[in-house]
Structure 1
């Protein structure tokens, strides 16, 4: 089945899409991105993702080259063209091609692209395979609120986790849990949902914000605060979130066993409420 891409206003098979070898995204990782899930042919929380994309562009001093209403319209057209029902949208903006030097080009021509890809349906709430986590030192830059395409530290961390037989790496700084290599991290401690605050050292996840709203609706106390790795490993429940994976429960963190080998009740309740929101938004 052909995968389709929108590149600077042109629709083409993804396999035929090309950018310049001097694109600053390629040579400097000078760009930002978004990834979100499509359910029943409809992108979930597209407006929130485009808002974050614009903030990320502002964070690297690049004006979003296409206004959000137009970008929304073009994304919906590509989904329809590809006849995508369940899948992924990947969206990227770079400063575009220019002669290689560190100074920004005076007259940039940004590269904007997005493509769609089919994803397998997610398992029922509480029935999927749990994750194992590996703690790694946080060696990233200090502007993690920007969803930048320069992800080499995350890639190295994720591969270290795979080498250790784990599913996700979790960045730890001076003994405190921050986030995963491609996810936000939560623990249920004394009945409260605990996750690191938005202090610039973690990505403000779209799914994270929805989960916190779900907790409020369900009457689950929320604490956005720093937690130590020891506190997290002793938690009754741990889970991670991302737009493409929703909520994934955790059964092991380094050498520690989390919970009693099944998806915890708080995690399951939050995941079901999240699914309810998806259903209401996408039918």
Structure 2
């Protein structure tokens, strides 16, 4: 039996239902977050909760709980579902109200939902690397909000899937932004470069961990916009996300990166990232290297 968290109560997942007039269902009027679970523990939980609350605040949703209260409920949900490796998905919407494009007046209680998903680490892809395509970034201009409105991301990811690729790297004109569900990094002259965290990309939690690891281990790093030309000429390319961790990119639009194998700096960062996981969550059973 699996359980879900709905509005403060942990109930059977099959019983977790929302009203047809929930604004998340009708308008995508809400935000979401995904937390990676290793050894039954939440990785970088404080950073994820901070981003979750900030996204809600950015669209004027008053959160029904404090961060410590939500963290406690999520920990209880993990125990109930006995999840060792996977994710917690959670979302909050503006709540239930008659359909109207204007925000509802009066007291409307936000709807909070969370549930767990079993998901092993994608070790084979992390060892061999993945193929990607390029696609124009057609999303709105507040990509820093982790909104439920993901249709452009879905279209990009579907396009990649139909071409036998793992991810779509998005760009606005000549400027590379991020993947459909990941941040993108290049290595140029031994330096790691990734898009600055602004309104054009999501401020990735995994991205921030990587940047801190670079700083601690004297790996040169820049947060700045880079171009399609720089991407095409990069020594190494990799992506990051809560699910994919540090994922080598070995091909872009049919052109091989680093002769089609993961690069040395990417492999080093994978190793450092695994050590960070173990520092927070305990020893990992399966490892990349």
Q: Give the TM-score of the pair, scaled to structure 1.
A: 0.96
Residue 109 of structure 1 and its aligned partner are, at CA, apart by 1.2
Matching of residue 246 in structure 1 with residue 245 in structure 2 = yes
The whole-number CA distance in structure 1 between the counterparts of 2:26 and 2:49 is 25
Gaps of 5+ in 2: 283-289
Residue 176 of structure 1 corresponds to 175
Aligned residues of 1:3 and 1:117 also touching (Cα < 8 A): no
The residue aligned with 2:161 is 162
**Counterpart-to-counterpart distance in 2, 1:12 and 1:260:** 51
Aligned to 1:51: 50
Structure 1 residue 174: Cα displacement: 1.3
TM-score scaled to structure 2, two decimals? 0.94
Separation in 1, partners of 2:187, 2:94 = 41
Equivalences, count: 281
Superposition pairs of residues 8-157 of structure 1, within 5 angstroms: 8-106=7-105, 107-123=107-123, 128-157=127-156
Higher deviation after alignment, 165-174 or 30-39: 165-174
In the aligned structure 1, how far is the partner of 2:122 from the partner of 2:168? 21
Q: Deviations over 1:66-106 (max 9, x none)?
A: 10000000000010111111111001000011000011112
Distance in structure 1 (CA, Å) of the matches to 2:5 and 2:22: 17
Q: Which runs of 5+ in 1 are unaligned?
A: none
2:126/2:248 contact within 8 Å kept: no
Supply the distance in 2 between the matched residues of 1:239 and 1:3 (Cα, whole angstroms): 35
**In the TM superposition, what is the alpha-carbon distance from 1:196 to its structure 2 partner?**
0.6
Partner of 1:206: 205
**CA offsets per residue over residues 118-166 of structure 1, 9 Å max, x none?**
1123428x85341111111111110000000110000011001111221
CA distance in 2, matches of 1:164, 1:247: 22
